[in-house]
Every structure is written in structure tokens, then in C-alpha cells.
Structure 1
């Protein structure tokens, strides 16, 4: 554990109170620090960064503000963020034990067990602080078990951000009534925060209540137009309502209010996928090209590789297929030839594009990465099914899909295609409609978008 080392770094120790107190003589710095921490817990990271900047401007020596800002400010690559956090932790001077515990917990965020241990230790020192209890629960083991966060809401019944997390955890565990109850409490406690309306809108959307979802996404955008995710929510609702042009207008608004260049690239890729969903291949590929240009300007090799993989895959799916190999080669050069996602997208793009030999070779390589029940195994099954369908072997394709999770949109779409080939139009139609009508649309999920495009073409 890093804690004993950290304890040696502490130059000023102070008795830990029930709540966190930051080491500063500036009331303004303290006020902005805690306002930033609250916004970070509301996942409004651009607003959080503004408060942390103000805290640092008021007191440059407020070390914990530097650490939390580095962890939350939008637009950094993972490598940049890690370096910023590590540098900020190393530069802390005069911090209390409580502050150092929090800084180390943030630094060790990639190691959930270690980070949770540090947050738990901090929570014991500051049992009256909902901020600390929140992060101790958020990092708890259990793969989204709602009980730790539920305990926080019971101890701190007026802590709005905790109800937000609890709402999603309950919903994803199948307790939709509990999820709605928690998110409504979130809105009651934070009626003027855009994320409260955005979260409520998302759960409404996932329930198929699109008109109500649209109203709350709109309210989120009205409360603060810099909360760009509200526009993406409106784009999802528009798409699910069959209004592709309106969806793209909303994505353009998200781009206009984007908090960082990296986020703009993500939104531009979403815009490209929206065009692809409506069969506007040239327009979609043009937007991918814009995203690539911006990624190159940022000099982000991994991001450049991701966009090239997008372009390879959707070039194949759009029926062009002329640039699949060149984009995959460029992606390999930028991000590495043997990283799992490169192998997967090589297999997927060539399978969709019809180069069965290359696809099969890449899929065999992908299989070495796949373990039972993991995402790679599912995608390998789907790609093998695409290859079998290309070879007019629907029974073999169904065999490949056996055991793959049928709640996966790509698995559903491919299974429907197999049913069509076998003449089972009724079951094919049912699966097709499940894919197209699934309200859990996410433009960031290229496979989900691909599945919807494939499903729309199924004649059943």
C-alpha cells in the first residue's frame, strides 16, 4: 500500500474532523473547492473544473484542488490525466492526513481495491462527510451493488449526488421502480441542476417514455447550455422517434457547447454514426474525416487509431469497402497492430466488407483474447456468424451465436438474419423490432449503431 509512504510526505498533520477541511486561509478558495467537488459528483466536469480553477487562483498552494482538477477536467488523454494527477500529488505540501488520503485515493483510481481502501480509511476519519462516503461507496466491490450507495443515502438523506448513482444502480439491477424513486429524489434535492433532469430523462427514455424524456432533456439544456450531454439526450430521443435530421441538429448543438476538443471529436463521431443510420454514407464518412483531422491536430495517437477503425468499419458496412485496408493500416500504425481492439476491428471490418480470408485469420487471433462470458468472446461469435452468413451457412452462423447473450443488439440482429435465411420470418421480425425499438440508444456504441443499421435492412 502507498499509505505509509504518503504519511511520510505529510508535512503538517492536523486532527481530522468529521468533515473534510482543506488547508487554506482563503475562504474563497475553500468555497470554490467544495463547489467543484459537488459538481464533480454531479458529473458536470466542465463546471467542476471552473470552480477548481477559481480555488487555485485564490490559493495556488491548495494542493488538493490541483489533484481533483487534474482528475476531472475534460479533454485530457488517460496518459495526460495520470501524469497531471501524479504530479499534483507529488507537489502537495502542508497537507493534512485527510487531504493526503483523498489525493492518494484519486491517484490510485485505476486500482479499485486500493482506491476503495483509501476512501474507506478517509471515511472513518471523516464520518460526517457525504463527499467521502459517496466515493467510498462508488469504489466499493460488487460490480454495481446498490447497497453501499443506499447506505450513504440513508446516512445523508439530503445528499443529491448519491441518489443519482443509486438510481442507476437499482435500474441496472432490474429494480426500475426503485430507480425511478431514487432519481425523483435526486430531482427534488437538486431541481436546478441539469444532471438531475438529464438522469431522470435517461431513465424515462430507457422506459420508452420519449415525450417525457424529451421534456427533461430540454429542461437540462435550458438550465445550463454548457451541459452538452443534454443535447445528446435530445438527439437520442429524436433518433428513436424517426427524426434523423433533428437528431443531427441536436448533435451539432452538443458540438457547439462541447467542453473540450476531445469531446468535440467524440460528438463528431456520433454525428457521423447518425448519418450512417439514415443511409447517408458519404455525409457520415465526411464527418469521420473531420473527426480524424481534429484528432490529428490534437496529436492523440490512440484517438487517431479509434477514428481510423471507425472509418474502416463503416466504410465496409456502408458498402464502399475501398478504404478498409488503408484505414486499418493507419490505425495499426497509430495505436499498435496487436492491441485487442485493433485485432477485433480488423476481423469485424473485413467480415462485414466480405474479405472472408482476412476476417477469419483476425478472428482466430481474436479468439486467443476471448475468455468465456467476456465481450471479446461475444464479438468473436458475432464475427464468425457474419462469416458463416457470407458463406451462405445460416445453420453454422446460429451455432456460432449459441450461448452469446441475446440482449446484445448485434447478436439479435445476426440471429434475425439467420432466421430469415432459414425462412423463419416471424422470429426474425420479432428480433429485428427488438433491435430497432430498443430505447437504450447510445451513439458512442458503434456496435449498437451497426446492429440497428443491419436490422433495418432485414426483410421480415
Structure 2
């Protein structure tokens, strides 16, 4: 067929042939691009079953739109020839790759994570590939991975296209259920992917056979050789991941490819940590997340003997005192419990014991217990981030750096069937053992009782007492009585510290499912980023945490009460008072500094806020979060040098996480350096393709008029299992027609989105949809519709009892535009009564709402007065305000107007807590060009005025509504051109 033309495709060369078709490279003469054409072989085209299989493939694959899956453009039939048109992907198959080079573990992980993302997209659509193999996956020269040939894809519930007992696909990659001719689901793809991952890491296949029958037998019955036999760089954790993917029983396999992807991502981060250089002490930055430290620790013969001894030892507690430690101002560091039977601490027994013991001991009077995070920060600073075996020498260095007098070293000797541990209290300055303890005979479910017993022994060894009996709690009362819930909770803490919000939310929800009275799991869930969560749900979680607040330790109770005072009672002063009380007693409670500083910011007490941020880094110079937050505050106050010094400290402490790169991009963005911001956002995305930076890249692409790029970035942002992030990405896509001035098209798309959000009960998105429809109707002059949508948005927002605003500013504006100023101002007066002096930033928001009404009435001087009351107390590098800029222009303050309008042209990313304008940036950034033209004309700068009008008209060249600015810009530009030609 080479040289022939089929439809509008010219066949250039044959690329390959398989059981399901022949593939050619072709040139699309209509769109001037190369594509891949896959033809059903002629001898099968007449077979209705095979033809249906072929169409089935196309329908299944075309349902996928993901960067890691080849795109299907169309399916067609030409002169009896059935074919699919696909994107042309240049690169090497993974089979070719492993034959030509030995892949590093890091590169194998990067490839595997992309495969996971593609398979997750398929699983979400209910699609099973059924033929995952290294020949069906290609890597481009830029490192992007594409899963090809959904030739055996099957939608759940569709009629079987494969006869019972037939085995289709490459046998070496088949799952046991495929080899047995059983029904398959997405877990079959996970097994096949495990085979591919094994091949990437070793260059070999895990199962071998001389013919299909012997190969099928091996897949069903044999265990693969350990990865380390062929690649000594493979960690035990990576071995565990592959083994789990290759489990014979699908119930023991990963149940979701997202779970496997999460494990692979953690392993990649651990690998990067291990390979990163040691961070010098002078370059300390914000708190690194507590990683699930994954380093294989060899077990000594002595430890093995101790393990065997405790295996048969009955339940008992033994204590021997070498010396009594007496000190009124004790400070104690609890080091990581080394897990001898499980050196990688895969089940987190060591981590759980450490954290639970810190919680238990923190209730002791006169004893300051250093947080586990603080100790991990120091450990990472010393280049020992992944060291799970804390030697006495290393422990002493960590303890000295933490400024403690005593440290506790612990060892898990046995975890199954009974727990057995030892611990030693050691004087840091002399190295003398103050007391030693041995506990054994506790079951895994009795871990909490074991920790209570050990805490009592440690307190006795230090000569300190617990809190009064009325306040003292067992560790189960202060946390949870479920080991599995606590494991999930610790995982959520770690993930949230890395800003992996969707995964953290899933972990906290798992903890709550396992223990519905786990107060701190509810509290952590309530603190997750509002961008990815429903505010009503977050406040519901906070209310539940508050109801259970008597079940937690004192420091945690104060945090819950402070958050409740802030978000539920709207009492910022009380919230700040509680947090100050907390920090007085627990000066190293790092999270409290952030909450206190935010409370001061919302009270517009910025000097106190900045001082609190500085107190945070003084308290713990290795706390990542504190350095990150401090950098933003310096940037908002236009202090460039200290801002970048702070962010570079953060970057030094978290070089293997995406967020510091994203934050540095934000800083450049705040200072108006968009090219540098773009570079750092791209660096962040290189760690994780669905990280928040990809949304910012989409915004910047949209600003440049690169609509295809913006669409691709927004879709990538939405390629996540988290439904809230998906909804946010769908909303982002609607910015494209808005930026283009296609408001009628936008209205239809908004109606479609609203219907979906209503069906799925996405409350915050429903409110946003109605608000966007209100804005669109106002812009197009349909004021009756605007009023209807404003009423619906307000009614929906009012369902949250803590929302004292509930869209009343927008509602008042809609009544005004609908010709009823009396109702508009009545609503405004009620709004003022309910929020000023009573709600966080109430006065600011009232002045904005009042300013918008004056602006729409044409009272520009009054509008300026209200806007300046609102924004003058904010930091200098705040977001620009569209209505303020136009009002400045209308009142003759041209230089100020030009300055604000220039910033409006590029300000597309929210980098602070205040969203000021009543219109979205995708609209105001375009209209700002029109108003800049007007301002330049008034200044007599005709050349620049002409340039701005041309920019405005170019962006809105396909606008589909009657815009007064558009009509006026055309008239003004024509006059300028006419004047210039004379």
C-alpha cells in the first residue's frame, strides 16, 4: 500500500504488523501532519466478529485522552478498508530500550510512573488493555511514555469478544487469570505491568518457557527470581512493589494502579533523597517531610539471637537502672525505633512506636519532648535522611543538634506473632545509659498498651511525672486504638507535607474509615487545601474534630480549638490567643506558628504576622514549611532579597520535592518576571506531571494565546483520581473561551458543567458555576438571567452555616443591574451588618462589594474611595483590581491607572489569600488592553494606544457577543490609523 492515498492520507511506509492489524506511517494532507494508520487485514475485514473487535478497539481507545496514551483521531472505512487514524509517536519501544541499554533504577521508575498514569486513566474509564507488554509501550526522545495498541481493550460489561479458553496477546506478559482463560479485570493489567517493570529493572522476563503451555505453567505456578540477583541497585522496597504486582492471586495484588503509582512515586523520592548531596548546616531550610525511610539495614548475628530469644519469651517487662536522671528542665529526643525483623519498616511498626511514644511522653509535666519531625530535619541535614538504623554515634549528634539532655534509643526485636522491643535512656553529654527497658509478649493490637507501659518506664527513669490524673490519657485515648488507622494517618501527614493533597486526603479518609472517632485524622482532613476540597466538607471535619477534642493531647486540643474559633466561630482574636497559649507551653509546635501568623494576617496585623513567621524559623531553622511561608510574605511586601534567600533555604532542604520549585516560580511571578516563573514551574512539573504547577503553566499559556498548550496543561492537571482536582481542571478549561471572548459558547459549556456538578453534588463547584453564569450574563447584558444565577449561587452558598458572605455582594450587584437599586442597597446594608467587625476580613469584603456597586452606577470617585479602603491595608504586591484600575482612569488618575492596568494584563495566578476582583482574570487581562489604550490616548501616547487596541482586537477577533469595549476599540483604532496616515 506504500505510495497509495486512502481518503486524505498518503501512505508513506509500513511500520509493523500484528494479529489485530497492519500499521503504516501516513501523511494527513488536510492537516499537514504525519499520522499512524492501522488497517484491519483484508482476510479479517470480511469476518464480522474480527471487524467488530477492531471497531471495539477504536471505541475503547478513543475514550482515552491522556498524555501517556496514544491518541485516536478517527476510525473510518475507505473502499472496504477499515482503519484507525492515530497520533504518530516517534521513539523506542521499551523492548528496544532494554535491549540497547541497562536502565538506571531512577529512569526505570520515571518510565513506570508514567505507565501507571496511563493505565489509571484507562481503568477510570472501565477499560482493560489486556495486552500490556514492552513492545506496546514507547518512549519518545523527550522521555514521554505512551501506551499503544489498545487492541485487546475491553469495556466492563461489554460482550465477550474472545472465545472461552483462547489466549490472546504475548504469552510472557499474561496474568495467571489470562493464562487460565478466566475473566480478567484491571488487575490483569497490573500483573502485566509488573512483568514490564521487572524487565525494565533487570533486562530479563520473570517467567520462562519453551512453548506457550510451559510458559503458562510458569506464570501460574513459579515465583520469579529476586530482582537483586540481576540488579544490585534495586532496593528491598522496590522488590516488594514488583512482588505485589506479580502476586498470583489477584486479591493479593495491587487493587488499584493508583496505589501502585503512589508506592512508585514514594520510592522515586526515596531514591532521589539517597542520591542527593548532603545539605550544609548553614543552608538549612523548611521542614522536610517525614519520609517512609526506605534503606535496607543488615541484621547482625547478635540481633538475630536477641530476636530468637524474644520469640519464645513470655509476656514481661524488665527494667534495669544504671543511674537516676534528675533534672527539672528535661528535654528528651526519642530516636527512630530500629526494626530488626523488617529493616525497611514496611509496616511502619518502628515509625508508629516512635510517634506514639512521643505523644505519650508529651503529656509528662516538666518534660519537653522534641518532635519527630524536628529530629528528622536534623537527620536529613546531616545527610542521613533515609537512615532507619540510628547508631549511638549518630543519635548523639542528632540529640546535641536538637539541644536535648537525654535521648531514647529503641529497637523492635520482634513484630510477629508478638511484639518485643528494647529501649535505652542515654545521657547525651556523657553517653552513659541511665536506664534500659525490655517489653515483650504484646500482640500487634496491644501496641498502644505497650507504648503506655514504656512511657511510664521512661518517665520513671527521668524522675518526671505525668499530667494530673484528670488530664492524663492513654496513648490510644490520645490517638486511636487502631494500628491500621494510625498507619494511614502517618502516611497522610507525610503526603500533605509534600503538598500531595489528593493522596493525603485519601489517607486521612482511610484512617477515619478504620476509626470513626480519630479526632486528629478529622482535624488534618479539615486543614487540606481548599483548592481540592469542598469548604462545607472541610468545616464538617473540623466540627467532628472539635466534638472529639477531649480525646487528644493538650497541644493537639489547643490546635483544634484555635481552628474552630477561627473558621466556625469567626473569632480570630480568640484563635490567636489560643495559639499563643499553645506556643508558650509548646514552643516547638511548628504548625501553630503558621496558624497564628495566618490569624494575624486576617486581622491585618501584618507586623505581628511577619514576626510570628520569623519566630517559626528561629524555633526550627530546618522547618521547610516555615521558610516557604516566610518567603511569600517577604515577596508580598516587595522585599526581593530576603524572599529569595528564604525560598532557597527551602529548596536546599527539599531538593527532591516539587513544591519548592513551584514556590520559587511564584516568587518570580509576584515580581513580574514571567519567563523565570515559567522555568521554575516547569522544573516542578518534572517531578510530577499533575502537580499544581501544571495549572499555572496552563494559565501562562492561555495568557500567551497558546490555547492548545493551555488545554493540554489543564487536562494534565485533571489527570488525577481526585474528583475535586478533576473538577477544578474542567473549570480551568472554560477559561479558554472566556479569554477568547466566546461568551455564548462559554454559557453553553457552563450549563453542561453545572448539570454534571449537580449530579455529582460538588457543592463548591456548583456555587462557582452559578457565579460564572452570573458573570457571563452580566457581561452579555442579560441582567434577568444574571439575577437568577446570583440568587441560586447565594442560596447554595448559604447552606454552609459558616459562610456569612454567601454571595451577597454578587447578588446586590445583580439586583442593581436588573434595575432595582433599592433591593441592591438593602442587601448591602444587611451584608455590612452581618460581617463588619464579626467575620474575618469582613470590612475589606464589604468595601469591595460597596465599591462594585458604585462602579456599576458610574460613581467612580466613590468607587475609588471604597476600593482604597479595602486594598490600602493589604501588602504592596497584592493582586491588581480591575474595577479599581478603571475607576482611577475615569477619575483622571492616569499614572496610577496605567500601573494597575499593566499588572492586570499579566496577573493570572493567585499567589496570596485575597481574590479581589468580581471578574475572572481571563476576562480582565484582555479588557485591560482596551483600557490601557484609552489611558495612553488620554496621555497623548498614540503609538502605544494603537498597540494596545490591536492586542485587544486580536485576542477577541472571534468574540461571539456584542461587547461595547470591542465596538469602541474598533472606532478608536480606525481614528488613530486615519490620523497617522495624514
Which deviates the most, 121-130 or 285-294?
121-130
Could you tell me how far apart the structure 2 residues matched to 1:58 and 1:341 are?
35
Give CA deviations for 1:5-53 in whole Å, capped at 9, x if unaligned: xxxxx99993164235793699987676455335435544224334545
The answer to whether the 8 A contact 2:905-2:925 is kept is no
- For these two proteins, the number of residue pairs brought into alignment is 434
Give CA deviations for 1:168-227 in whole Å, capped at 9, x if unaligned: 112222323222221121111111222211111111112222222112212222212342
Which deviates the most, 372-381 or 303-312?
372-381
The answer on 1:455 being equivalent to 2:915 is no
In structure 2, relative to structure 1, the CA distance for the partners of 1:414 and 1:256 (3 Å cut) is: farther
Aligned to 1:209: 673
- State which of 410, 414, 417 in structure 1 corresponds to 2:883: 410
TM-score in terms of structure 1 length: 0.77
Could you tell me how far apart the structure 2 residues matched to 1:362 and 1:107 are?
32
- State which of 437, 440, 446 in structure 1 corresponds to 2:905: 437
The answer to whether the 8 A contact 2:628-2:646 is kept is yes
The answer on 1:231 being equivalent to 2:694 is yes
The answer to whether the 8 A contact 1:205-1:237 is kept is no
Offset at residue 439 of structure 1 (A): 3.1
Higher relative helix content: 1
Aligned to 2:590: 130
In structure 2, relative to structure 1, the CA distance for the partners of 1:429 and 1:320 (3 Å cut) is: same
The answer to whether the 8 A contact 2:525-2:541 is kept is no
The answer to whether the 8 A contact 1:194-1:220 is kept is yes
The answer on 1:78 being equivalent to 2:527 is no
Could you tell me how far apart the structure 2 residues matched to 1:176 and 1:72 are?
29
Give CA deviations for 1:397-424 in whole Å, capped at 9, x if unaligned: 34543463385222103443x37xxxx7
Offset at residue 92 of structure 1 (A): 6.7
In structure 2, relative to structure 1, the CA distance for the partners of 1:306 and 1:31 (3 Å cut) is: closer
Aligned to 2:210: none
The answer to whether the 8 A contact 2:361-2:369 is kept is no
Aligned to 1:393: none
In structure 2, relative to structure 1, the CA distance for the partners of 1:93 and 1:208 (3 Å cut) is: closer
In structure 2, relative to structure 1, the CA distance for the partners of 1:38 and 1:156 (3 Å cut) is: farther
Offset at residue 234 of structure 1 (A): 0.8
Give CA deviations for 1:351-407 in whole Å, capped at 9, x if unaligned: 6xx64x23564146425645696233234233323323xxxxxxx534543463385
In structure 2, relative to structure 1, the CA distance for the partners of 1:278 and 1:73 (3 Å cut) is: closer
Could you tell me how far apart the structure 1 residues matched to 2:866 and 2:559 are?
43
Question: Unaligned stretches of 5+ in structure 1?
Answer: 1-9, 389-395
Aligned to 2:682: 218
Offset at residue 268 of structure 1 (A): 3.1
Offset at residue 165 of structure 1 (A): 0.7
- State which of 165, 171, 175 in structure 1 corresponds to 2:635: 171
Offset at residue 146 of structure 1 (A): 1.2
- State which of 783, 788, 810 in structure 2 corresponds to 1:345: 810
The answer to whether the 8 A contact 2:505-2:528 is kept is yes
The answer to whether the 8 A contact 1:19-1:126 is kept is no
The answer to whether the 8 A contact 1:112-1:139 is kept is yes
In structure 2, relative to structure 1, the CA distance for the partners of 1:287 and 1:166 (3 Å cut) is: farther
The answer to whether the 8 A contact 1:272-1:286 is kept is no
Which deviates the most, 366-375 or 51-60?
51-60
Alignment of 1:145-156 (within 5 A): 145-156=609-620
Aligned to 1:248: 711
Partner SS state of residue 127, structure 1: coil
Larger radius of gyration: 2
The answer on 1:257 being equivalent to 2:720 is yes
The answer on 1:377 being equivalent to 2:850 is no
Could you tell me how far apart the structure 1 residues matched to 2:700 and 2:822 are?
37
Offset at residue 73 of structure 1 (A): 7.7
In structure 2, relative to structure 1, the CA distance for the partners of 1:268 and 1:362 (3 Å cut) is: farther
The answer to whether the 8 A contact 2:882-2:901 is kept is no
In structure 2, relative to structure 1, the CA distance for the partners of 1:358 and 1:268 (3 Å cut) is: farther
Alignment of 1:30-45 (within 5 A): 33-34=489-490, 36-41=492-497, 43-45=499-501
Aligned to 1:312: 774
Greater RCO between the two (CA within 8 Å, min separation 6)?
A: 1
In structure 2, relative to structure 1, the CA distance for the partners of 1:336 and 1:425 (3 Å cut) is: closer
In structure 2, relative to structure 1, the CA distance for the partners of 1:365 and 1:49 (3 Å cut) is: closer
Alignment of 1:47-66 (within 5 A): 47-52=503-508, 63-66=519-522
Which deviates the most, 314-323 or 172-181?
314-323
Offset at residue 153 of structure 1 (A): 1.0
Give CA deviations for 1:110-130 in whole Å, capped at 9, x if unaligned: 243434444444434443453
